[in-house]
Structure 1
Amino acid sequence: MDVLIHAVVGLHIIGIAALLGGFLTQMKAMGKGEARMVPAMLHGALTMLVTGVALVGLNQAEDYSVNTVKIGVKLALLVVILGLVYVKRDDDKVEAPVFGVVGGLTVVNIFIALLWT
């Protein structure tokens, strides 16, 4: 089961890489006011959601401790990110503050994962 958990963690990291990578590729366009939510951002956020839920279930199935408050905060941030990306996915241009919120919350989510023990 540990191999499965590690594989799902790998997929979770790929999801965050897609979300953050999509954001970073649009940074120059954000400065010009021409940023848009690229499909990688939506797919990355959805991958994070699915694999995050799977990780919680797999860890609980193995009787590993799960910090439910941390998971709740990360889930809340991801729902906001996913909502913004989903709603703005078809817009040709996304306002810089909205786009910046997505990037900022993504970075916060990463640091919560790494630093909150």
Structure 2
Amino acid sequence: MDALTHVFVGLHVIGIAALLGGFLAQLKAMGAGTARFTPGMLHGALTMLVTGMVLVGLNQAADDPVNNIKIGVKLALLIVILGLVYVKRDEETVDKAAFVTVGALTTANIFNAVLWV
């Protein structure tokens, strides 16, 4: 069971990397006003959602403690991220506020995972 959990943690990190990497790659374009949400950012967010749900299920199945408040906050942030990226995924350019919001919420989600014990 531990090996399976580690596999899904790795996939979760890959999802985070895709979302945050897509954001960071578009920073220069954001300065020029031509930033857009890439398909990799959407796929990264969806990967985070699916692997996060699997990880919660695996932890509960193993009778490991799950901080439901922390998971709820992480899920709420991810739903906002997914909503923004999904709705604006086909737009040629995305306004700066929406783009910065996705980057800030992604960063907040990472710090939430690492710092909230």
In the alignment, which residue of structure 1 is the partner of 2:2? 2
For residues 81-96 of structure 1, the aligned pairs below 5 Å read 81-96=81-96
Percent identity between the two aligned chains: 70
CA distance in 2, matches of 1:21, 1:40: 9
Secondary structure at the counterpart of residue 4 of structure 2: helix
2:103 is the alignment partner of 1:103? yes
In the alignment, which residue of structure 2 is the partner of 1:14? 14
1:43-80 CA-partner distances (Å, limit 9, x unpaired): 00000000000000000000000000000000000000
Unaligned runs of 5+ in 2: none
2:50 is the alignment partner of 1:68? no
Question: What count of residue pairs does the alignment treat as equivalent?
Answer: 117
CA displacement at 1:96 relative to structure 2 = 0.5
Unaligned runs of 5+ in 1: none
2:45 is the alignment partner of 1:45? yes
Secondary structure at the counterpart of residue 34 of structure 2: coil
Give the residue type in structure 2 aligned to 1:38: T
CA displacement at 1:21 relative to structure 2 = 0.3
Give the residue type in structure 2 aligned to 1:46: L
2:25 is the alignment partner of 1:25? yes
Secondary structure at the counterpart of residue 18 of structure 1: helix
CA distance in 2, matches of 1:32, 1:3: 45
Query: What's the TM-score once normalised by structure 1's chain length?
Result: 0.99
CA displacement at 1:110 relative to structure 2 = 0.1
Give the residue type in structure 1 aligned to 2:57: G
2:87 is the alignment partner of 1:114? no
1:74-99 CA-partner distances (Å, limit 9, x unpaired): 00000000000000000000000100
